[in-house]
C-alpha cells in the first residue's frame, strides 16, 4: 500500500467514525420525537434549488421512518408571483398577505394545488416516501372564512376595514382525517387553499395554514422553513430565542416586516394554543430539518415555552 493509499484509508475511517458519532448523538432526539407530530411549513423561497428540494424530501422520509408524524404544509408565494406576472395580472400585499381578487384566486389555486404540491409529493416519493398531496378542500380539511383586517386611518383615527378579497383564515380543521395518516406510512403534503362554507376557494397564507393545522393536531413542533437564518435583529444578527413581548416590539418598530409578520403571528398563536414550540429555520441550509431536530443546539429562532 502506498503512503497516499494509507492516508486515504485513514481519512475514510475518520469519516465513518464521524458518521457513527453523529448517528449515536441523534438517538436521544429520535426517542424524544418518536410518535410526535411535527408540522413543517415549506416556504416558496426555500424550494428554489433541486439539491435543497432533494435534501428536504430525504429529511421528511427519514423523520417518518424513525417514527415521527411529519405533516408538510407548503407555500409558493414567489411561484404565484411569477405566474401572475407572466399573465400580466398585478398583485399587491398588505402586511405580507396577497390581496386576492377573482382572477388571482384561480391562479393561486392552480399553482399551489397543482405544480407545487405535486412537485413536492413526487420528490418525497422519489426518495422512498409515500406522500399524498392535499389541499384544504380534500375531506373538508380546512374550512375557511374571509380574513378581516382593519387599520386606523392616521389622519382621521377612524378604523378602516381592508379589502383582501379571497384571503381566508382557517376556521375549522379536520384533524381526525389527518390523524389517519399517523397510523400509516403516508406523509400528507398540504397546499394552503381553504374551502368556504358556500363552496368558495380561499387563499390562505401558508404560515397561517401550517399554524392552524399544528394547533388542531396538538403538534410537538411547528417548523417554518424560510429564506433567512431566522428572525434577525436591527443589526442583522440572529435571535435564537424569541419572547412574545420582544416579537411584538420588533413588529411595532418595523424591525420585523413583510412576510415575517404572518410567520411571527403564527408562532405566537400556535404556542399559546397547544403547540409545543415553533421554530423559524433557514431552508437554504441542506438538511435544516435534521439539524433542528437531531442536534443539541438546533437552528434558527425558537419561540416556545420549553426546549
Ligand atoms: N426581522 C426580520 N428577520 C428576518 N427576516 C425578515 C425580518 N423582517 C422581514 N423579514 C423578511 O421576511 C422574509 C421571510 O418571509 P417570506 O418572504 O414570506 O418567506 P417564505 O416564502 O419563506 O414564507 C425574509 O426573506 C425577509 O425579507
Ligand atoms: C394570502 C396569501 O398571502 N397567500 C399566499 C399563499 C402562498 C404562501 O404563503 O407562500 P409562501 O409561504 O411561499 O410565502 C400567497 O398568495 O402568496
Three cell numbers, residue 83: 405566474
- For 45-80, the pLDDT digits (tens) are 888 789 999 999 999 999 999 999 999 999 999 999
Ligand minimally distant from the alpha carbon of residue 246: 1
Question: Binding residue per annotation — 203?
Answer: yes
- Rounded (5°) CA angle 298-281-21: 30
Question: Does any domain span residue 216?
Answer: yes
SS3 content of the chain, % helix, strand, coil (to 5): 45, 25, 30
Q: With 0-12 CB in 10 A as exposed, 13-18 as middle and 19+ as buried, what is 186?
A: middle
Question: Does any domain span residue 142?
Answer: yes
pLDDT above 80: residue 151: yes
Q: What is the pLDDT of residue 107?
A: 98
Helix, strand, or coil (residue 177): helix
Q: What ligand 1 atom has the least distance to the C-alpha of 207?
A: 23
Q: With 0-12 CB in 10 A as exposed, 13-18 as middle and 19+ as buried, what is 258?
A: exposed
Q: How would you classify the pairing of strands 193-196 and 142-146?
A: parallel
Q: What is the pLDDT of residue 61?
A: 98
Q: What ligand 2 atom has the least distance to the C-alpha of 168?
A: 1
Q: What ligand 1 atom has the least distance to the C-alpha of 46?
A: 22
Q: What is the pLDDT of residue 48?
A: 76
Provide the mean pLDDT of the chain: 93
3-state secondary structure 198-262: CCCEEECCHHHHHHHHHHHHCCCEEEEEECCCCCECCCCCECCEECHHHHHHHHHCCCCCCCHHH
Compute how many other C-beta atoms are within 10 angstroms of the C-beta atom of residue 291: 17
- For 173-230, the pLDDT digits (tens) are 999 999 999 999 999 999 999 999 999 999 999 999 999 999 999 999 999 999 999 9
Q: How would you classify the pairing of strands 187-191 and 69-74?
A: parallel
Q: What is the mean pLDDT of residues 119-140?
A: 98
Q: With 0-12 CB in 10 A as exposed, 13-18 as middle and 19+ as buried, what is 206?
A: buried
Q: What is the mean pLDDT of residues 141-160?
A: 89
| Ligand 1 binding site (Cβ under 6 Å of any ligand atom) | 43-46, 75, 77, 96, 226-228, 231-232, 255-260
Q: What is the DSSP secondary-structure string of 38-106?
A: EEEEE-GGGG--HHHHHHHHHHHHHHHHTT-EEEEEE--HHHHHHHHHHTT----EETTEE-B-HHHHH
Q: What is the pLDDT of residue 69?
A: 98
Question: Does any domain span residue 59?
Answer: yes
Q: Evaluate whether 115 touches 180 at the Cβ level (below 8 Å).
A: no
Q: What is the pLDDT of residue 155?
A: 83
Q: Is 75 in the pocket of ligand 2 (CB under 6 A)?
A: yes
Q: Evaluate whether 251 touches 264 at the Cβ level (below 8 Å).
A: yes
CATH number at residue 283: 3.40.1160.10
The total number of residues shown for the chain amounts to 307
Q: Evaluate whether 143 touches 170 at the Cβ level (below 8 Å).
A: yes
Question: Does any domain span residue 294?
Answer: yes
* Range(s) of the domain holding residue 225: 32-299
- For 167-189, the pLDDT digits (tens) are 999 999 999 999 999 999 999 99
Q: Ligand 2 pocket test: which of 75, 101, 189 has the largest number of ligand atoms within 8 Å of its C-beta? A: 75
Question: Binding residue per annotation — 18?
Answer: no
Residue pointed to by grid coordinates 465513518: 16
| pLDDT: which is higher, 297 or 239 | 239
Q: What is the mean pLDDT of residues 148-172?
A: 89
Q: Is 76 in the pocket of ligand 2 (CB under 6 A)?
A: yes
Question: Binding residue per annotation — 77?
Answer: yes
Question: Binding residue per annotation — 221?
Answer: no
Cα 237 to averaged position of ligand 1 atoms, centre (Å): 14
Q: Is 194 in the pocket of ligand 2 (CB under 6 A)?
A: no
Q: With 0-12 CB in 10 A as exposed, 13-18 as middle and 19+ as buried, what is 166?
A: buried
Q: Is 206 in the pocket of ligand 2 (CB under 6 A)?
A: yes
What is the number of structural domains in the chain?
Answer: 1
Q: What is the mean pLDDT of residues 96-111?
A: 96
Residue minimizing CA distance to atom 1 of ligand 1: 256
Q: Give the whole-number percent of the chain exceeding pLDDT 70.
A: 99
Q: What is the pLDDT of residue 29?
A: 84
Q: What is the pLDDT of residue 159?
A: 86
Q: What is the pLDDT of residue 306?
A: 55
Question: Does any domain span residue 211?
Answer: yes
Q: What is the pLDDT of residue 40?
A: 98
Question: Does any domain span residue 214?
Answer: yes
- For 250-281, the pLDDT digits (tens) are 999 999 998 898 899 999 999 999 999 999 99
Question: Does any domain span residue 18?
Answer: no
Ligand minimally distant from the alpha carbon of residue 113: 2
Cα 59 to averaged position of ligand 2 atoms, centre (Å): 23
pLDDT above 80: residue 307: no
Question: Does any domain span residue 221?
Answer: yes
Q: What is the pLDDT of residue 21?
A: 79
Amino acid at each position: 500500500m502506498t503512503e497516499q493509499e494509507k492516508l486515504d484509508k485513514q481519512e475514510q475511517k475518520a469519516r465513518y467514525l464521524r458518521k457513527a458519532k453523529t448517528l449515536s448523538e441523534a438517538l436521544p432526539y429520535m426517542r424524544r420525537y418518536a410518535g410526535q407530530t411535527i408540522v413543517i411549513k415549506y416556504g416558496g423561497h426555500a424550494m428554489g434549488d433541486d439539491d435543497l428540494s432533494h435534501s428536504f424530501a430525504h429529511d421528511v422520509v427519514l423523520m417518518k421512518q424513525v417514527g415521527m408524524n411529519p405533516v408538510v404544509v407548503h407555500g409558493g408565494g414567489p411561484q404565484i408571483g411569477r405566474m401572475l406576472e407572466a399573465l400580466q395580472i398585478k398583485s399587491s400585499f398588505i402586511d405580507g398577505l396577497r390581496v386576492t381578487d377573482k382572477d388571482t384566486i384561480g391562479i393561486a389555486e392552480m399553482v399551489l394545488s397543482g405544480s407545487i404540491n405535486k412537485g413536492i409529493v413526487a420528490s418525497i416519493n422519489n426518495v422512498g416516501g409515500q406522500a399524498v398531496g392535499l389541499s384544504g378542500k380534500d375531506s373538508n380539511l380546512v374550512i375557511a372564512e374571509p380574513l378581516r383586517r382593519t387599520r386606523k386611518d392616521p389622519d382621521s383615527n377612524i378604523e378602516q376595514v381592508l379589502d383582501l378579497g379571497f384571503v381566508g383564515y382557517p376556521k375549522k380543521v379536520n384533524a381526525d382525517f389527518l390523524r389517519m395518516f399517523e397510523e400509516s406510512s403516508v406523509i400528507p403534503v398540504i397546499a394552503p387553499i381553504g374551502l368556504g362554507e358556500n363552496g368558495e376557494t380561499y387563499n390562505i397564507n401558508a404560515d397561517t395554514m401550517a399554524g392552524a393545522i399544528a394547533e388542531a393536531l396538538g403538534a410537538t413542533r411547528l417548523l417554518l422553513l424560510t429564506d433567512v437564518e431566522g428572525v434577525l435583529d436591527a443589526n442583522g444578527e440572529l435571535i435564537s430565542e424569541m419572547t412574545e413581548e420582544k416579537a411584538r416590539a420588533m413588529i411595532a418598530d418595523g424591525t420585523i416586516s413583510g412576510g415575517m409578520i404572518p410567520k411571527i403571528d403564527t408562532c405566537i398563536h400556535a404556542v399559546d394554543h397547544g403547540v409545543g414550540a415553533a421554530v423559524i429555520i433557514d431552508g437554504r441550509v441542506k438538511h435544516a430539518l435534521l439539524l433542528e431536530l437531531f442536534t443539541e443546539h438546533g437552528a434558527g429562532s425558537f419561540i416556545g415555552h420549553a426546549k
